Amino acid sequence: MPSNEQPNFDEDFDEAVAEWRDKHRLREDDAVMLLVELFRIHQRHWDEVRRRELPSFEQFRSDITKLVEAARTFQGQSAVFLEIMRNQTPVHRAARITRATAVFATIAGLLAGYLIGRAWP
């Protein structure tokens, strides 16, 4: 089973900064070092924002499971609906909508319901 821990690159970054400081003979209180520290603060902030905004894999899996279930329900209800439509007498057929329009409206209604449900849980 894969580990859920994120790799920590701080040590590698610290080594690279130390080598860079030695190469360019920079002091610890140099303005450029302060910019490097500001960059690290900025990077930690945005890493945390990304972690909060990305959904977990389990949430994604549960959403896919719900979508598969909704598709099965839709297929079952569509089959019943089409069977009823086939069994109607010719008198009612003149006043009804086409099969393609009914299927499209059903799909659009289910999709709209799902999206509304996702927007307002």
Mean pLDDT by 10 residues, the chain (121 residues): 61 84 83 86 86 77 92 94 83 69 92 85 61
Is residue 4, in this structure, part of any structural domain at all? no
106 is written with which tokens?
Answer: 């059903």
> Is the domain of 48 the same as that of 66?
no
> Is the domain of 86 the same as that of 115?
yes
Is residue 2, in this structure, part of any structural domain at all? no
> Is the domain of 64 the same as that of 85?
yes
CA 70/CA 82 separation, integer angstroms: 18
109 is written with which tokens?
Answer: 């209604």
Is residue 82 within 8 Å of 99, Cβ to Cβ?
Answer: yes
User: What pLDDT was estimated at residue 6?
Assistant: 62
User: What pLDDT was estimated at residue 51?
Assistant: 79
> Is the domain of 35 the same as that of 78?
no
Determine the number of helices (DSSP H) and then strands (DSSP E) in the chain. 5, 0
User: What pLDDT was estimated at residue 3?
Assistant: 53
- Cα angle 50-117-102, degrees, rounded to a multiple of 5: 130
Is residue 5, in this structure, part of any structural domain at all? no
User: What pLDDT was estimated at residue 68?
Assistant: 94
Tell me which residue range forms the domain holding 65: 57-119
Q: Structural domain tally of the chain? A: 2
Calculated CA dihedral for residues 37, 42, 44, 46, nearest 10 degrees: -170
> Is the domain of 47 the same as that of 68?
no
User: What pLDDT was estimated at residue 75?
Assistant: 95
User: What pLDDT was estimated at residue 1?
Assistant: 45
Is residue 17, in this structure, part of any structural domain at all? yes
User: What pLDDT was estimated at residue 7?
Assistant: 65
